[in-house]
Structure 1
Amino acid sequence: MATTTYTLTSSDMGMSIPPNLPHAISVSLPKWQDNVDYEEGRPRVVDAMQTGYPRFFVHRTIQKLATMCEQRFGRPDERAMLFPSAKIASECARFMASQSAAPEALAVRTTHFVLYPSEQDASSAAEPTELHIVLFPSAAWPLAKQFWQHTGLGVSSRMAERCVQLWSEGAGGSSPTTDAPHDSNAANGNAGLIGKRRSARSRYGRKPSIGTPLSPVSPIESVSPPRAPAFPPPTQEEDLSTDHAAYIEERYGRNLPLSQAVLAKQALRRRIAGTLAHESEEMEVHGRGVEGVTEEDVYLMSTGMTAIWYAHQLALAAREPAKSICFGFPYTDTLKILEKWGPGCHFYGHGLDSSIDELEERLQTGEKILALFCEFPSNPLLRSPNLPRLRKLADQYDFLIVVDETIGNFVNVEVLPYTDVLVSSLTKVFSGETNVMGGSLVLNPKGRHHAALKATMASLYEDTYWPEDAIFMERNSRTFVPRVYQINENAEALCDMLRAKIGSSSVKEVYYPKYTTRENYDVCRIPAQNGRPEGGFGGLFSVVFTSVTASKAFFDALPCEKGPSLGTSFTLACPYTVIAHYLELDWAAGWGVDVSLVRVSVGMEDKESLLHGFAQAMEAADKAVANESS
C-alpha cells in the first residue's frame, strides 16, 4: 500500500477537502468569518461551496437526482427527499407528520422505483437499484432536512451517482410518457427506468405496506401515478470522467472490486470486533475485554448518527418506553434524537461525577429510565464519564447504557465491558479520509440484556450501507491502528505546548483527556500488551481563549485545513461552537461550551511542523489581544 506524506496546508474557501474529491465529506471554511457567514446563509459562502458535510449539505449529485424525481413524480410546489429503503422513507414521512406545527395534516407522500442496468452492462455494479422517495410541500423542507440531518439515513452520494447514471442512460426518449404505463413490451433492454421486462406496477406502482411502523403516526397519503419525465440538463461541473474520478478516489491504495462488497462488509465487521484483516482473510477475532464478541454482534450503518438513531430505536422497541438520559454535553444531533423520538430525555449536560449524584437522586424517586447515552470522551469538552459507576446504577435500576466511543476510538480505550450498546462513527479516525461515511453498532455479548437486544435487532435492522461506500471504508481502515498511534503522539505534543502557555498568553484552557477527567479516562485506557503501546489520549482537543478576538486570530492563522469533521489523517480545525450552536450560543455557554472554543483534530503531519505552525498561530492570537487593548 502506498505511503502518503501529509503536510500542513489550507484549501480555498468552498473547496472540498482535499480539493477535487467527488465524494468529499468536508469543505474548506478557512476563516472565522467564513463560518459565521455560512451559519447566517451569506451568499458569498453558500454559493461558493462545492460540497459540505453530508448530513448538513445535500451533495450536488443527490440534489440533481432529487430534481429528476420531483419532475418525474412530483406535483407543483413539491420537493423530494431520497432514501435507500421503504422503511426509512416511511419513517421520514411519519417524523415530518409528527413534527409539523401546521393545524392541518401534512401532505406527505411516498413512492419508489427500481432502476435496471442494461443487459449489456457487464460491470460488477450491474444490479438493480431501488430508490425510495418522500414527496412533500416545499414549505415542509426544514422538517425533511431535520430527519436527514439527525438520522443520517438518506441516500449516499455514491448511490445517487449510480441512480443518475442508470436513469440518464435510459432517458434518451425511451421513457414512457403516459401517467400509468401498462405495456410491459415497452421494455427495450436500455438501462434505466424501463430496463428489463417488468410489469408497470413493479416499476412505478405504490409500495405495499411494510408492516408495523417504527413509531405511531397518523396515516400517510399514498402516491399518485407518476407524471411524464422532464430531465434537467447535465451540469458541466459534474462531467468528470470515470477514470479521473477513480484516480482521485483511489490515490492512497487499491480497492477491492465492487463485486466483493459482501466480503468487504464482513471484513469491516471483523475488524471492528477486534481484528485487523489480512489478504488471506484468515482473521482471528479477539474480545477487546469482553469474551465472545464476534462479527455477529456488529452492525454496519450508513453514518455514525445512524448508529445512535438505531440504538435509540432498539431501546424503544426492546423495552418499555420511557425517557432516556443524555449524560454529558454531546454532539448536537444525539440530543436531538433523544428529544424528538420517543418520550424524550433528561439532560445532564456537565457529565461530571456530581451529575451522577443528581442522576442517582432521580432514580431513587422510582422514575423508570430507558437508556443512558454518553460519549467517551465527549465532543467538544473531552470529558470522560465515570463508566463503572454508571454501569452499577444501570444494573441496579435496570436501564441500558449506550456509549459513543468515536473520540476515544477502539485502539485507545476499552469501554465495551460497561455498555449494552457501543456506537461509533466510522467516518472519523477509523476511515481517516474524507471520502466516505459510515457507522457501527456493537452489542455487548456479556450484557444482561443481550438476548433481548439481539432478538429485537433481528427484526429492526436492515443493511442499507451502500456497497461502494463499504468498499472505500474497508480500504481506508486497513491502516487504522498505526494511524491512531501516530496521531496520539502528535496531539499530545501539541496539547502539552498549548497548555504550558496558560497564564502567560491568550490561551485560557485546553480540553484534552490527558488533563480533563483523567481518572475516568484512565479506567478505560488500554494497557500496553503484545508489543503494542498503551492507548493514547486520542487526536481531538479543544482550546479556549481569553477572548473571541484571540480565537479569531488564532484560527485564521492556523496553517492547516479548516472545515467540519474530525479524525482525518491531516489536521483539521473548526470554530466548533459557531458551526454547531450558532443559534443557541448562550445555551451552549451555560454548559461550558464557550463561543471562543476552537476544536482541533490532529493529523499525521511531521510533529515539528505542527508545533511550529501552531506556535505561529499563538503569536497571532497574542498580538491581536495586545492590539485590542492598546
Structure 2
Amino acid sequence: MSQSIFSHIPCGQTLPLNNIHAVSVSMPELQDVIDYEEQTPEILEKIKSAYPRFVMHPYLKILASHIKEKYKVSNAYEVVLLSSQKAVDVVSSKYFIHNKIEINEPFGVILVQNGTTQLQKVLKFIQHVGYNLSSRLAQDYLFEIGLLNNIHQEELENKTIAKEIVISELAKAYKQPKQNICLTPSGMNAVYCALKGLKPIQERNGKNKLIQLGWLYLDTMNIVEHYFDENKIFYDINNLDLLEEYLKTNGHTISAIITEIPTNPLLQTVDLVRLKELCLKYNIVLVIDATFATPYNLDLKPYADIYIESLTKFACGNADVLMGALILNENSKISMMSQEFFKHADEPYIKDIQRLAFQIKDYEKRMKVISKNTKLLVEYFKKAPFIDEIFYCLNPKYASNYQKLMIDENSLTGIISVTFKKDFKEIYDKLNFAKGPSLGTEFTLLMPYTYLAHYDLILTKSGNEFLEKIGLPINLLRISVGCEDINDIINEFERV
C-alpha cells in the first residue's frame, strides 16, 4: 500500500487551511465534535471560526465591539450585525425590536437587550433565514478604519463583470433566462425568499399549508416552522400513496411542497414524475433544493417550479464563500411573479460575488471529476468488508427515479453516506481526510452527520427512537467526495 497523501489536520484549523473566510473547520476526532456540540471551554479556545451561520466570525466580533464603542451602546445591549437594513427590518418586525439610536453603516445593526431570552431567539432566527453579515465586508471595513493590518490575499474576478459571470454560469447550467435567477447572501436566505414569496400567493388563493417532503436540512425545517402557520411533514419520500391520500382531502389547502433532490444525508430521490403529477392536479408549487443534485448531475427542469441552490457548496468548491441562488423555472407560471420572491433577497457583498465568479467557472469540470470519483468509491465500498450500509443515489429502491433525471451515466451526486461494521469513533478518528461541517469541496470532506446536525436527538431515548423512525443512523459518516486521485481516496480508507 502506497503512502497516504492525506495528513491529520489539527482541531480548529480552517477548512480550507489558512483561509480566514473558510466556512468549515477541522474537527478531526469524534470527541472534538461532541465538545463542540456541548460548547466546552477547551473547544471554544481551539475553534475560532466555523460555519458562519452557526459561529460568529472573528472579524464580526471585532466589528461588533467597534460599533458598540463608536455609538456608545450601553452594556445592557448586545450589538447584532446583519447583512443589510432590509435584514434589520425583517428581524426587528419579527421580534418587535426598536433601536434607540440612529446607526448609519453599510450593513445592518440591531441592539438586543442582554439577559433576555430574546437574544438567543434573534441569533437563531438569523441563522435560519441566513441574513449573516459577510466576513469579507467586515474585513474591508476593519482594514479601512485601521483595526486590521492586512486583507486576506485571494484570487477575485473583476468587480464590473463578476455578477454577470455568476448569473450567466447558472443560467447556462439550469437552462433558464438570466432574469429568473436571484443571488442571496446564503443558501438558507434563498429558502427563506422562496417560502416568504409564497405567502401572498397563498393568501390570494386561500391556501394556508405547506408540505415538507422528507427529512430535510435542519434550518430548512426551521424556516418551514417559522413561516407557515400550518405545515404537514411526510418523512418517507418513498411512500407517495400516503401523500396522495392526504391531498384527496386537503389538496385545496396546500400552497407548496418543499423537498430536496436527493435528500441530505440519505441520498433518497422521490418519484418526481408522480410527485409532479400530484402538484399539477392540486395546483401546488414544487420547491426543490437542488444543492446535492447540481445542474450538472440531474435535470430537474421538467419538475421544479422553484429551485434553490446553496452556492457555498459545489458551485464554490473551495468552502470560502457563503452565497445562495433562487431560480424560478421558466416552464412554471410562478416565473411571472419573480418580484414576489426576489424582493426579499439581499444583494451579496461584491467581494463574495467576485470570489464566487472566479470559482464558478470550473463548476462543470469539477462536477465531472467528483461524479466519476463518487462512482468508483461506491464500487469500492460495495466490496469493502468494513462497510455496513451505503447510501448513495442509485440504491435499488429509487434507482429508476434517479436514472430518469441523470444527465449522463456518470452523473452520481458527489455525496456518499456510510455506516461501518467496526467502531465508528475508531474509524472516524483514524481517517486523515478533512473532517468538519459543509460539503461540495474539491477536497474530500467528512462529516459525522447526526452528531453535528442532530446531537440533541442522540442524547435521549425518545430522540434515538425518532432517529430510528426516520431511518437516520447515529453513526453515519457523510462523505463529500473530492477531486483528488480516486486511488489516493481509496488508499486512505484501506489504511484504516
TM-score (norm 2): 0.92
Distance in 1 (alpha carbons) for counterparts of 2:216 and 2:79: 30
Of 293, 296, 319, the residue aligned with 2:202 is: 319
Question: Matched residue of 1:300: which SS?
Answer: strand
The root-mean-square deviation of aligned C-alpha atoms, in Å, is: 2.0
Distance in 2 (alpha carbons) for counterparts of 1:95 and 1:299: 24
Distance in 2 (alpha carbons) for counterparts of 1:163 and 1:589: 48
Match of 2:426? 553
Question: Matched residue of 2:250: which SS?
Answer: coil
Match of 1:519? 400
Structure 2 unaligned segments of length 5 or more: list them: none
Distance in 1 (alpha carbons) for counterparts of 2:274 and 2:473: 28
Match of 1:346? 232
1:83-124 Cα distance to aligned partner (Å, 9 max, x none):
232221121123335xxxxxxxxx553766445xxxxxxxxx
Question: Matched residue of 1:63: which SS?
Answer: helix
Match of 2:436? 563
Q: Which amino acid aligns with 1:67?
A: S
Equivalences, count: 479
Does 1:164 pair with 2:73?
no
Question: Matched residue of 1:366: which SS?
Answer: helix
Of 256, 274, 277, the residue aligned with 2:157 is: 256
Does 1:16 pair with 2:14?
yes
Is contact 1:411-1:535 (8 Å) kept?
A: no
Is contact 2:180-2:335 (8 Å) kept?
A: no
Match of 1:208? none
In the superposition, relative to structure 1, how do residues 110 and 616 fare at CA in structure 2: closer, same or farther (>3 Å)?
farther
In the superposition, relative to structure 1, how do residues 462 and 381 fare at CA in structure 2: closer, same or farther (>3 Å)?
closer
In the superposition, relative to structure 1, how do residues 339 and 462 fare at CA in structure 2: closer, same or farther (>3 Å)?
closer
Does 1:366 pair with 2:275?
no
In the superposition, relative to structure 1, how do residues 410 and 145 fare at CA in structure 2: closer, same or farther (>3 Å)?
same
Distance in 2 (alpha carbons) for counterparts of 1:345 and 1:73: 44
Distance in 1 (alpha carbons) for counterparts of 2:234 and 2:257: 10
Instruction: Give 1:20 shift.
Output: 1.7
Instruction: Give 1:523 shift.
Output: 1.5
Does 1:47 pair with 2:45?
yes
1:263-302 Cα distance to aligned partner (Å, 9 max, x none):
2111111110115xxxxxxxxxxx63xxxx2111011111
1:171-220 Cα distance to aligned partner (Å, 9 max, x none):
xxxxxxxxxxxxxxxxxxxxxxxxxxxxxxxxxxxxxxxxxxxxxxxxxx
Is contact 2:290-2:309 (8 Å) kept?
A: yes
Distance in 1 (alpha carbons) for counterparts of 2:41 and 2:445: 24
Question: Matched residue of 2:317: which SS?
Answer: coil
Distance in 2 (alpha carbons) for counterparts of 1:495 and 1:399: 36
Question: Matched residue of 2:254: which SS?
Answer: coil
Q: Which amino acid aligns with 2:258?
A: F
Is contact 1:14-1:28 (8 Å) kept?
A: yes
Question: Matched residue of 1:417: which SS?
Answer: coil
Is contact 1:8-1:571 (8 Å) kept?
A: no
Distance in 1 (alpha carbons) for counterparts of 2:77 and 2:150: 32
Is contact 2:181-2:325 (8 Å) kept?
A: yes
Equivalences for residues 94-109 of structure 1 within 5 A: 94-97=93-96, 108-109=98-99
Match of 1:601? 480
Distance in 2 (alpha carbons) for counterparts of 1:317 and 1:63: 37
Distance in 2 (alpha carbons) for counterparts of 1:591 and 1:380: 12
Distance in 1 (alpha carbons) for counterparts of 2:364 and 2:100: 43
Instruction: Give 1:448 shift.
Output: 3.0
Distance in 2 (alpha carbons) for counterparts of 1:449 and 1:43: 49
Structure 1 unaligned segments of length 5 or more: list them: 1-5, 98-106, 116-129, 170-233, 276-286, 528-533, 618-630
Equivalences for residues 241-390 of structure 1 within 5 A: 241-242=150-151, 245-246=152-153, 249-250=154-155, 255-258=156-159, 260=160, 263-274=161-172, 288=175, 293-320=176-203, 322-352=208-238, 354=239, 356-367=240-251, 368-390=253-275
Instruction: Give 1:134 shift.
Output: 1.2
Distance in 2 (alpha carbons) for counterparts of 1:141 and 1:157: 21
Question: Matched residue of 1:370: which SS?
Answer: strand
Distance in 2 (alpha carbons) for counterparts of 1:393 and 1:50: 47
Distance in 2 (alpha carbons) for counterparts of 1:314 and 1:380: 27
Distance in 1 (alpha carbons) for counterparts of 2:369 and 2:149: 35
Q: Which amino acid aligns with 2:247?
A: L
In the superposition, relative to structure 1, how do residues 112 and 257 fare at CA in structure 2: closer, same or farther (>3 Å)?
farther
Question: Matched residue of 2:46: which SS?
Answer: coil
Distance in 2 (alpha carbons) for counterparts of 1:150 and 1:112: 27
Instruction: Give 1:325 shift.
Output: 0.9
Question: Matched residue of 2:197: which SS?
Answer: helix
Q: Which amino acid aligns with 1:137?
A: Q
Distance in 1 (alpha carbons) for counterparts of 2:289 and 2:480: 17
Does 1:399 pair with 2:308?
no
Instruction: Give 1:164 shift.
Output: 2.3
Instruction: Give 1:75 shift.
Output: 2.7
Is contact 1:407-1:538 (8 Å) kept?
A: yes
1:392-425 Cα distance to aligned partner (Å, 9 max, x none):
1111111110001111111010112201101101
Instruction: Give 1:462 shift.
Output: 4.2
Is contact 1:89-1:133 (8 Å) kept?
A: yes
Instruction: Give 1:554 shift.
Output: 1.5
1:555-591 Cα distance to aligned partner (Å, 9 max, x none):
1111210011100000000111000000123233321
Question: Matched residue of 1:241: which SS?
Answer: coil
Match of 2:380? 497
Match of 1:192? none
Distance in 2 (alpha carbons) for counterparts of 1:566 and 1:462: 24
Match of 2:129? 151
Question: Matched residue of 1:468: which SS?
Answer: helix
TM-score (norm 1): 0.73
The percentage of aligned residue pairs carrying the same residue is 28
Equivalences for residues 232-247 of structure 1 within 5 A: 241-242=150-151, 245-246=152-153
Is contact 2:32-2:43 (8 Å) kept?
A: yes
1:251-272 Cα distance to aligned partner (Å, 9 max, x none):
xxxx2233x2xx2111111110
In the superposition, relative to structure 1, how do residues 543 and 447 fare at CA in structure 2: closer, same or farther (>3 Å)?
same
Match of 1:588? 467
Question: Matched residue of 1:14: which SS?
Answer: coil
Distance in 2 (alpha carbons) for counterparts of 1:256 and 1:60: 25
1:305-342 Cα distance to aligned partner (Å, 9 max, x none):
11111110111133325121111111111111001113
Is contact 2:439-2:480 (8 Å) kept?
A: yes
Q: Which has the larger radius of gyration?
A: 1
Distance in 2 (alpha carbons) for counterparts of 1:583 and 1:442: 34
In the superposition, relative to structure 1, how do residues 386 and 240 fare at CA in structure 2: closer, same or farther (>3 Å)?
farther
Match of 2:108? 132
Distance in 1 (alpha carbons) for counterparts of 2:410 and 2:80: 42
Is contact 1:95-1:147 (8 Å) kept?
A: no
In the superposition, relative to structure 1, how do residues 268 and 535 fare at CA in structure 2: closer, same or farther (>3 Å)?
farther
In the superposition, relative to structure 1, how do residues 363 and 399 fare at CA in structure 2: closer, same or farther (>3 Å)?
same
Question: Matched residue of 2:484: which SS?
Answer: coil
In the superposition, relative to structure 1, how do residues 17 and 322 fare at CA in structure 2: closer, same or farther (>3 Å)?
same
Is contact 2:86-2:346 (8 Å) kept?
A: no
Instruction: Give 1:77 shift.
Output: 2.0
Distance in 2 (alpha carbons) for counterparts of 1:461 and 1:397: 27
Is contact 2:187-2:325 (8 Å) kept?
A: yes
Is contact 1:429-1:566 (8 Å) kept?
A: yes
